[in-house]
Structure 1
Amino acid sequence: MRIVVFGGAGFEGSGIVRDLIKSCVSEVVIADCNIDGAHILANEFNTSGTKVSVQFVDADDHNSLVEAIKGADAVVSAIGPFYSYGVKTIKAAIDAKVPYVDINDDYDSTKEAFKFHDEAKKAGIPVIIGLGVTPGLSNVCVSYAAGKLDRVNTINISWIAGAGPGGHAVALHFFHALDGKIPIFIDNKYELISPVKEGKKSVRFPDPFGLVEVPYIGHSEHITLPMFIQGVKTVTVRGSLYPLIVQETINQIVKLGLFSMTPIKINETLIAPRDFAMEFFHTLMEAEETRYQVERVLKSLPTPGYGSLIIEVVGDKNNSTAKYTYVINADLCDATEWPASIGAQLLAGGEIKQKGVLAPEQCIQPEPFFGELKKRGIKISEVEEIIRVV
């Protein structure tokens, strides 16, 4: 079993690589532009039973992507931000005819990915979009609940996560997910809303987070769940970073319109507001007082990436209204990487029979998937509430 990890030397990609090796995959290829980082990671596993190799890849070069995965049993992509690279890696997988999975969490590139459904089907491969934690685990929980209901009416997904880990692409994703107007599915139709200006909701998360006002966020579940969960009328996704000073800083930068890529001239130099915003954000976060506040709060968490994910699915069951609530408390970085690793192994083993572009709720069997996560220490609690008509 030979699995290639695009972006395998990066923050999320390296976690996927580690899980594949711990799962005793026979061969793992770390495909990245950061060759030095890839070799350092590969050297961690000199004594493992897995053959680990390094391959240079340029994510902006189609031929480079294709050559890196030719002959592989599966490829998993962690190259972000996905609004820039999601479609590029999918095209490479289709041309190389290699089964594909990614952790794409951007709503627009997810929508774009489904335009390649027929091409992927013709190539005879499954292409799984967004198999991380949210989207990914969230979608599978929804499909599990849907199997217990006669009809699904409402899906509400909320999460909060420690802001400690992550790289440049992760920061770009959060800005992108809050910028401009994002689509949400309300009352059987899409509405475009500004997440930093409208629709915040107070959500009670498990300790230590408590009651948090959480904004809408532009995520893939808004696109795929209305497509594949029959009858659903409302799908919402809300999310926040913790401590809240980090989230509020991002919100304020987005409110000022600083995520635009349209250059402005400053002293005869053209600068994209987005480039300025990213540098400004990192400068603010590195300021001594801010860094102290953030580090102090993160030290109170079990891990810097620790968080909570709540999925609520409401629908009809036996002439009553039923609500299923799923709660996951875990390091949400691990909970992003491990589902992708599990998905890649399913693909490489030929266990995903559908072809074409697929959402997790279409192709991942919930109970075996939950079992694999449980082996890795992620537990999912389920609460069922029935409102009976008397």
Structure 2
Amino acid sequence: MSNKDKKVRIALLGGAGMMGQGIVRDLLSDRAIVDIAELKLFDSSRERMRALGEAMNNDARLSLHELDVSDAQALRRALDGVDICVNAVPTLAGHQMAIFAAALDARADYVDLGGLGTYTVKQLEWHERFRAAGVVAVLGVGADPGMSNVICRAVADQLDEIDSIHLYWAATLSGAENPVLVPPYSVSTVLAEYAHPCVQFLGGRHVECAPQTGKEVIDLPEPWGRCEFMYSIHSEQLTVPLADGIRQKGIQEFTWKLHLPKREHEAWVGLVKAGFGDFDRPVDINGTPVRPLDLLNAVINRNIAENAQRIPAQQSSEIHFAIGRGRVGGQPATARCEVIVRAHPMYEGYVDAATSMNASIAVQLMLREPRRPGVYAPEAYFDAKSYFVEAEKRQFAISLTRQIG
């Protein structure tokens, strides 16, 4: 059944973080396609929540609740009576499975922003438990993963037989050079992308690849220009080639590759060279064990705060695209789906509009459309056409092309 005609209650965990704040902004905007009775924002920082509430003009639908997600009883109480749990707590904080299980226990539908593949496979194994309980979970609903999975579905639907699908994401910054390193998303996520081995789908099977390998240069339109991509740890390659309607078409190769702006790329490579890729293993500092991640986060955040006046106005542009090769009617064919996100006044106040807006789209489609209990990746749950209608409302430019012969 659908929640289309009812007022819904949403719990957003980690709601005052970088991505959570954007999800709040989009859910409470005039773009909403569901009627929200209450958006319950949970976070460990009362100060960040209060600032967000003020930025949202203390919207009556928004309620603020301090929560330590490591407190199992408090977490379970937080989900009582909500229609859906949105998990925006950073994956590598280590609470993904506990929040996932709490949503099932509360009979609340569930989404998260992805697990870099770390938890995705484990969560998919719970499909029958969720289905039997009548609960829906969709994993990885940001931009990458999330929208990226949906564009792979759109490409796959254009081909009768599939040899390969290659998925890419590139970002670039226009404007004066920034003397301050500002992470594009969670520091732990970026470090994992640069430092951890990843799994790609090659030769019809999943293969572990070393970090920063699989390099490929592609010429893109301005402002990106010539971009060097690399393999990276992600979840799309773990789910897309195995999805119904894709697996049966004979796919033998699926890869996901990343390109960050040149200066930022160099900074992350340098940090990994310095040892920050092993960010969870504590180091001893004057007799006190300290995680490198905690140290790096503290230094980066202090540097941003103390040098805020030196951070120039920059415009971020990103391109997400998937290229599928195979056959249509026995003829060789290539399909390409591309989403371009350029700077727009609508994105003011967002740290990463693409990720948080896509998470909001996924939540709203789940609440509006007929439900299918179980655990899914986005390409297995969402209809690409309906999804793209919502993405275009947010000024994402989408194109889908096919060449035969």
Q: Is the 8 A contact 1:80 1:170 kept in 2?
A: yes
Map of 2:129 onto structure 1? 119
Q: Secondary structure at the match of 1:160?
A: strand
| Aligned counterpart, 2:397 | 379
Q: Which of 69, 72, 84 is the matching residue for 1:59?
A: 69
Q: Which moved more, 1:204-213 or 1:252-261?
A: 252-261
**Shift, 1:65, TM fit:** 2.0
- In structure 1, the gaps of 5 or more residues are none
* Regions of 4+ moved over 6 Å: 163-169, 280-288
| CA distance 1:177–1:109, shift in 2 (3 Å) | farther
Give the Cα–Cα distance (whole angstroms) in 2 for the partners of residues 110 and 275 of structure 1. Answer: 25
Residue deviations 1:103-153 (CA, integer Å, cap 9, x gap): 115111212222322322232111000111111111111112222211222
Deviations 1:148-171 (A, max 9, x none): 211222111111225789769611
**Structure number with higher helix proportion:** 1
Match of 1:245 in 2: 263
Q: Which amino acid aligns with 1:354?
A: R
Asked if residue 259 in structure 1 is aligned to residue 313 in structure 2, the reply is: no
Match of 1:174 in 2: 190
The answer to whether the 8 A contact 1:82-1:104 is kept is: no
Once residues 181 and 307 of structure 1 are traced to their aligned partners in structure 2, the CA distance between those partners, rounded to angstroms, is 24
**C-alpha separation between the residues in 1 aligned to 2:184 and 2:361?**
25
Alpha-carbon distance in structure 2 between the residues aligned to 1:286 and 1:73: 37
User: Given that residues 80 and 169 in structure 1 are in contact (C-alpha distance below 8 angstroms), is that contact kept between their aligned partners in structure 2?
Assistant: no
Deviates more, 1:267-276 or 1:177-186: 267-276
Letter in 2 for 1:139: N
For CA contacts below 8 A with separation 6 or more, give which structure has more relative contact order.
2
Number of corresponding residues: 374
Give the TM-score normalised by structure 1. Answer: 0.86
SS of 1:313's partner is: strand
Q: Does residue 225 of structure 2 align to residue 207 of structure 1?
A: no
The one of 337, 357, 382 aligned to 2:375: 357
Instruction: Please say which of residues 359-368 and 23-32 is displaced more in the overlay.
Output: 23-32
The more displaced of 271-280 and 374-383 is: 271-280
CA deviation string 1:223-245 (max 9, x = no partner): 11122131321111111222x12
The aligned residue for residue 9 of structure 2 is 2
- 1:290-309 equivalence runs, <5 A: 299=314, 301=315, 304=316, 306-309=317-320
- Contact kept in structure 2, 1:140 and 1:366, CA below 8 Å: yes
Tell me the C-alpha RMSD between the 2 structures. Answer: 2.8
Aligned pairs for 1:307-318 within 5 A: 307-318=318-329
User: 1:10/1:352 Cα in 2 relative to 1: closer, same or farther (>3 Å)?
Assistant: farther
Deviations along 1:276-306, one digit per CA (max 9) or x if unpaired, are 5556777898998xx97xx56x72x3xx4x3
Q: What's the offset of the Cα at 1:264?
A: 4.1
Which residue in the other structure is 1:190 paired with? 206
Residue in 2 that maps onto 1:29 = 40
Structure 2: which amino acid aligns with 1:262?
R
Equivalence for 1:148: 158
Query: 2: distance between equivalents of 1:145 and 1:108?
Result: 26
Matching of residue 93 in structure 1 with residue 112 in structure 2: no
Structure 1 contact 312–324 (Cα < 8 Å) conserved = yes
Q: 2:27 corresponds to which residue?
A: 20
Q: Structure 1 residues 280 and 248, CA, compared in 2 at 3 Å: closer, same or farther?
A: farther
SS of the equivalent of 1:12 reads: helix
Of residues 332, 339, 363, the one that matches 1:328 is 339
